[in-house]
């Protein structure tokens, strides 16, 4: 019997949780028609297989039709949900993993212009800045029907075999009543007393209990401190916690600290990379101490050591490691096997969460199998025929190619021109708060080292030295170099690139124009470096909004640095050219919306316009290859081996991946590698 505090069972009412690690509710936006179908089930079952004791499924599963999902959530108001919930619960139970689900009414935290086009409702008259709907103030008949909707949804979840439910009360309808900041009601549910503010939640709990009985597990995930003047204070939050406990109707408390009404507020609740780890852990422990209730909590507890500390110090009963399980679903299995060092680390990039709003589903930046369990393996199968695989480039894509090929049992050699691995991620890591990104590289280097991958650094690959290695397969992962032209080939003389600034090859000048045609991190990273160096900075984009590819939560740390500096943002302006005039640069600036053109003077113009592929080697190797570099897309998508033959005399298969094909991102490079090489 292990003495590891994390591996001790926890008794929650009648339910024995086999260890102390859970995933908290996180809607990955995988439902189809509002139902958790095959993709959804496979995602949770993979984590169940990996040993997690409990998965809190969904996230904001909607109990009412006037709570339309913000980002493709489960529709718990539909009766058709029950058989799918049953398949989900049976799939997880088969691996000894308890399954619960988070139910909610979003209140004002949604939009009216989707689903059934019903007005959003709230105890507040004010819109939530992040979701923008101006709500209708709830009437008595709304309150009555919503209480009933909660009870109906809970009953459906019980019928689907769930071990329990959790009600969401941070930023959603339940706590919109609680907070003086969001309760504009008068009367029995009004803002004047705490008792009145809690009344709706108490009514909901009572209705649910009446429907599901005493044995079903019911908990709350709630803000116990809004951390904002005029909102629920920590002292009031502890009082709320005690009152919830005193009802005898609540089986666990899942503690949140903060608000989520804006991107910055949400980012303080769910910290991204570069922010402090476990910032609310001690507070969650204080709630546990004050109430004696089973206490759960998650907020950037990404590593096993912190999770262990949380349990051994009595701060938590169950530790949420949610994004950590998106990065590696097999954390518990690896702890049990004594292989903690092999856990693929969550680097806090929060690509996962930002994507559910902007791109439609959650994907992990550096685990391309997450959310693709139906087609991509988390455990790479060993190949039947051993091959020699030569990879050129040790950036994230090249290293993923090397790792997967090595796990397949192939003999792998990596050639890298630089003295260190990492490629573009080395530039990313120039910003201290994004240094964690190097773990994407370090983890792969350790995996490769354990599988005898041979690395040749400071080695410029040419067709000759690649051929001399006698490969069966060549993977070109050489990345790209910054594109210094402007849109459709316009000349961009006298400019430097965002990479020049980030790498420190060029010192920021006094007045800097950062011209961002790409909308991704390097532009704001360069802006941050220049602003911190004291430059006056203007970030300009031809797009309608600036930095569209950085997305909501990832934008927050940039803005926190930039907004008290001399930085301005200009949208919908296009740089047409740059000329030198004495010491200064004169930028000719147009717009896609009219023929208007004007000029402005700067000391330095920095262009961010993606990369052009470093593809010379690829083209040099094509002639000697069997497939001429061609990819069978149908085979790639359907998960079959590549077998195109364009040159029967060829000696090797040749593929290029990542930015060596076209400028994309880290996830794309890693996914290119995984899906190609898992079948080689």
Indicate which single residue of 353, 364, 402, 461 sits in contact with ligand FMN (rule: CB under 6 A).
353
d(CA 397, CA 655): 12
- CB atoms inside a 10 Å sphere around CB 188: 13
Q: Are residues 130 and 260 in contact, defined by beta-carbon separation less than 8 angstroms? A: yes
- Min dist. Cβ of residue 171 to ligand FMN (A): 9
Helix H or strand E encompassing 466: helix 463-468
Residues 361-390 that bind ligand FMN (CB under 6 A): 362
- Min dist. Cβ of residue 269 to ligand FMN (A): 7
Stretch that binds ligand FMN, among 299-307, 577-585, 623-631, 664-672 (CB under 6 A): 299-307
- Ramachandran sector of residue 423 (left: φ over 0; alpha: ψ -120 to 50; beta: rest): left
Of 136, 116, 123, which Cα lies nearest the Cα of 66? 116
- Min dist. Cβ of residue 403 to ligand SF4 (A): 16
Stretch that binds ligand FMN, among 6-14, 43-51, 181-189, 348-356 (CB under 6 A): 348-356
d(CA 315, CA 307): 10
Q: Running DSSP on this structure, what letter comes out for residue 205?
A: H
Residue 364 binding: pick among ligand SF4, ligand FMN, none (C-beta 5-8 Å cut-off by kind)? ligand SF4
Q: Are residues 302 and 345 in contact, defined by beta-carbon separation less than 8 angstroms? A: yes
Residues 55-84 that bind ligand FMN (CB under 6 A): 59-60
198 vs 326 by CB, closer to ligand SF4: 326
DSSP line for 299-335: SS--SHHHHHHHHHTTS-SEEE-HHHHHH-TTHHHHH
103 vs 461 by CB, closer to ligand FMN: 103
Binding site for ligand SF4 (CB under 6 A): 323, 326-327, 346-352, 364-366
Residue nearest to ligand FMN (CB): 59
Residue 27 binding: pick among ligand FMN, ligand SF4, none (C-beta 5-8 Å cut-off by kind)? ligand FMN
DSSP-derived 3-state class of residue 461: coil
Q: Does 321 bind ligand FMN (CB under 6 A)?
A: yes
- # binding residues, ligand FMN (CB under 6 A): 24
DSSP-derived 3-state class of residue 392: strand
Strand 611-613 with 480-482, pairing: antiparallel
Residue 347 binding: pick among ligand FMN, ligand SF4, none (C-beta 5-8 Å cut-off by kind)? ligand SF4
Q: Running DSSP on this structure, what letter comes out for residue 606?
A: E
269 vs 286 by CB, closer to ligand SF4: 269
322 vs 447 by CB, closer to ligand FMN: 322
Q: Does 221 bind ligand FMN (CB under 6 A)?
A: yes
53 vs 326 by CB, closer to ligand SF4: 326
Q: Which residues pair with 599 in a beta bridge?
A: 588
- Is the alpha carbon torsion for 663, 669, 673, 674 positive or negative? negative
Residue 327 binding: pick among ligand SF4, ligand FMN, none (C-beta 5-8 Å cut-off by kind)? ligand SF4
The answer for residues whose C-beta is within 8 angstroms of residue 140's C-beta and 6 or more apart is: none
Residue 349 binding: pick among ligand SF4, ligand FMN, none (C-beta 5-8 Å cut-off by kind)? ligand SF4
Instruction: Give rounded-to-5 percent helix, strand, coil for the chain.
Output: 35, 20, 45
169 vs 539 by CB, closer to ligand FMN: 169
Note the residues at the interface with ligand FMN (CB under 6 A).
24-28, 59-60, 102, 168, 221, 270, 298-301, 320-324, 352-353, 356, 362
């Amino acid at each position: 019997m292990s003495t590891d505090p994390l591996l001790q069972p926890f008794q929650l009412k009648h339910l024995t949780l086999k260890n102390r690690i859970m995933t908290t509710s996180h809607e990955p936006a995988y439902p189809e028609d509002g139902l958790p179908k095959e993709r959804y089930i496979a995602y949770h079952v993979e984590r169940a297989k990996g040993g997690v004791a409990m998965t809190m499924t969904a996230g904001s599963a909607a109990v009412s039709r006037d709570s339309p999902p913000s980002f493709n959530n489960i529709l718990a108001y539909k009766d058709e949900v029950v058989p799918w919930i049953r398949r989900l619960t049976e799939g997880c139970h088969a691996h000894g993993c308890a399954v619960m689900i988070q139910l909610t009414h979003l209140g004002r935290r949604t939009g009216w212009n989707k689903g059934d086009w019903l007005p959003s409702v709230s105890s507040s008259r004010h819109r939530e800045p992040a979701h923008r709907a101006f709500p209708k103030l709830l009437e008595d008949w709304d309150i009555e029907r919503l209480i009933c909707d909660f009870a109906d949804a809970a009953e459906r979840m019980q019928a689907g075999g769930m071990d329990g439910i959790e009600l969401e009360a941070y930023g959603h309808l339940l706590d919109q009543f609680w907070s003086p900041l969001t309760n504009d009601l008068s009367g029995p549910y009004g803002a004047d007393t705490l008792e009145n503010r809690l009344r709706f939640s108490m009514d909901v709990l009572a209705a649910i209990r009446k429907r599901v009985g005493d044995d079903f597990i019911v908990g709350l995930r709630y803000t116990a401190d809004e951390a904002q003047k005029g909102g629920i204070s920590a002292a009031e939050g502890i009082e709320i916690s005690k009152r919830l406990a005193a009802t005898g109707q609540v089986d666990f408390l899942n503690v949140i600290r903060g608000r989520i009404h804006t991107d910055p507020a949400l980012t303080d609740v769910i910290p991204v990379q570069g922010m402090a780890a476990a910032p609310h852990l001690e507070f969650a422990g204080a709630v546990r101490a004050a109430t004696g209730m089973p206490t759960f909590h998650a907020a950037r507890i990404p590593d096993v050591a912190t999770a262990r500390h949380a349990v051994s110090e009595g701060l938590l009963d169950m530790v949420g490691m949610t994004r950590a399980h998106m990065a590696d679903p097999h954390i518990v299995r690896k702890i049990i096997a004594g292989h903690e060092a092999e856990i693929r680390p969550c680097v806090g990039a929060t690509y996962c969460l930002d994507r559910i709003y902007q791109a439609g589903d959650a994907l992990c930046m550096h685990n391309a199998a997450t959310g693709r369990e139906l087609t991509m393996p988390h455990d790479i199968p060993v190949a039947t025929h051993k091959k020699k695989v030569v990879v050129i480039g040790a950036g994230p894509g090249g290293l993923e190619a090397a790792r997967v090929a090595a796990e397949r049992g192939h003999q792998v050699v990596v050639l890298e021109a630089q003295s260190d691995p990492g490629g573009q991620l080395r530039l990313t890591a120039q910003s201290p708060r994004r240094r964690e990104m190097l773990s994407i590289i370090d983890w792969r280097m350790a995996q490769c080292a354990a599988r005898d991958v041979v690395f040749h650094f400071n080695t410029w690959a040419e067709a000759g030295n690649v051929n001399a290695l006698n490969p069966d397969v060549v993977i070109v992962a050489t990345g790209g170099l910054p594109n210094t032209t402007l849109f459709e080939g316009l000349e961009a003389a006298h400019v430097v690139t965002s990479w020049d600034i980030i790498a420190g090859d060029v010192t920021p000048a006094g007045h800097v124009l950062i011209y961002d045609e790409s909308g991704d991190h390097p532009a704001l990273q360069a802006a941050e470096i220049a602003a911190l160096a004291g430059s006056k900075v203007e970030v300009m984009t031809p797009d309608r909004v600036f930095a569209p590819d950085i997305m909501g939560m990832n934008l927050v740390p940039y803005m926190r640095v930039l907004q008290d500096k001399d930085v301005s943002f200009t949208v919908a302006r296009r740089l047409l050219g740059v000329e030198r005039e004495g010491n200064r640069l004169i930028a000719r600036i147009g717009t896609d919306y009219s023929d208007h053109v004007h000029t402005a003077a700067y000391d330095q113009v920095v262009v961010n316009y993606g990369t052009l592929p470093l593809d010379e080697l690829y083209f040099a190797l094509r002639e000697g290859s069997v497939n001429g570099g061609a990819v069978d897309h149908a085979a790639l998508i359907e998960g079959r081996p590549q077998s195109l033959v364009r040159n029967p005399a060829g000696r090797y298969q040749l593929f290029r991946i990542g930015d060596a094909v076209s400028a994309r991102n880290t996830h794309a490079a890693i996914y290119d590698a995984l899906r190609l090489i898992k079948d080689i």
